[in-house]
Amino acid sequence: MPKLHPSDKALVPFVSVENMMKLVHHIGIEPMLQGLADYIEADFRRWELFDKTPRVASHSDEGVIELMPTSDGEVYGFKYVNGHPRNTRAGLQTVTAFGLLANVGNGYPVLLSEMTLLTALRTAATSAMAARHLAPRGADTMAMIGAGAQSEFQSLAMKAVCGLKSVRLHDIDPAATAKAERNLAGSGLTVVPCESAETAMEGAQIITTCTADKQYATILSDNMVGSGVHINAIGGDCPGKTELAPGVLQRAEIFVEYPEQTRVEGEIQQLAPDHPVTQMWQVLAGTAPGRTGAGQITLFDSVGFAIEDFSALRFVRDRVGGTGLVQELDMLADPDDPRDLFGMLARAAPAAG
């Protein structure tokens, strides 16, 4: 944890959207996705050290606003994030976010960062981290069902972390498919646009679903899913929003981040509250098996969890130093005498004119 010096203790390093984009290009998008996956895995391996709670959510007919806090006892972190699927109709982002890290010892923030871009990166890195342990050996083709804002990040993360070679794209909006195909041109991936989800899944060992509509949907019906695949389900992330038919869930070995949150928000909200699932951290710690057979269907029911955001902010904190890609924000009052906050205010009064 960086120490706060008396001369700068009231200034908080801030990474803006512009500087986050510069940091990604400075590191390289694939090395950054690989680095984020490694940081997330490292924190999952020490899962039991963290404070854990389901995110604090405020739901409305239009979407959701959430706070996602956690701490490892030395560093505290939280993310503010919204999810508003209808925003795209007004030219707005579906998801926006910012996050903060603070020193547990004195409560002072040590990093404030945009997390709209960073959330997209960490979501993809988390998917790839899980697939690294759950996907069939040698998997090199992914069906990407839903070509929205996550599709390119998911594809590049699977390439960087898992060795993906080909992505088969489908979206009900042909313009979204064309957008993703255009953005992935020159990435080294073979990109195949597909007219249907069924076509996209032909020959794919990894299936990623990421659609935006806030409703119970059936993106994957039971008869569409054959044996031996890994499903990366990331679109269902709030109550009342799912993508997979219950029959798919019944046939799959299900892996989750934090059951108390996933049972409310994930695909498994469709199942009985006691339906067995495996926590991903247990696989990484070696206390539970991951994929156990070639014909097994594995499902990572990912809704996003605060520890992943903590890991992403920790990665940024460690990599942004010395790059010049931070601004110093005057966010914290810093009186000469900590007991004399009013005196600091009084001395700032404009001179009588």
Contact criterion met (CB below 8 Å) for 33 and 156: yes
Q: What is the CATH number of domain 11-117+307-341?
A: 3.30.1780.10
309 Cβ contact list (under 8 Å, min separation 6):
68, 70, 77, 78, 79, 99, 115, 119, 122
Residue 235 confidence (pLDDT): 81
**Residue 239 confidence (pLDDT) above 80:** no
Contact criterion met (CB below 8 Å) for 92 and 85: no
| Assigned fold of 130-304 | Rossmann fold (3.40.50)
Q: Write down the mean pLDDT value for the chain.
A: 93
Q: Following DSSP, what letter does each residue of 126-141 receive, concatenated? A: HHHHHHHHHSPTT--E
Residues 261-282: tens digit of each pLDDT:
999 988 999 999 999 999 999 9
Q: Which residues are catalytic?
A: 237
In the block, residue with structure tokens 């869930």: 249
Contact criterion met (CB below 8 Å) for 326 and 90: no
Q: Any idea where the domains of the chain sit in the sequence?
A: 11-117+307-341, 130-304
In the block, residue with structure tokens 């706070």: 67
**Residue 208 confidence (pLDDT) above 90:** yes
Residue 143 confidence (pLDDT): 98
What is the number of other CB atoms lying within 10 angstroms of the CB of residue 251?
14
Looking only at the bridges linking them, the beta strands covering 230-233 and 298-301 are: parallel
* Dihedrals phi, psi of 65, to nearest 5 degrees: -120, 130
Residues 98-137: tens digit of each pLDDT:
999 999 999 999 999 999 999 999 999 999 999 999 999 9
**Residue 236 confidence (pLDDT) above 80:** no
Contact criterion met (CB below 8 Å) for 126 and 208: no
Share of the chain above pLDDT 70, in %: 95
Bigger pLDDT: 72 vs 63: 72
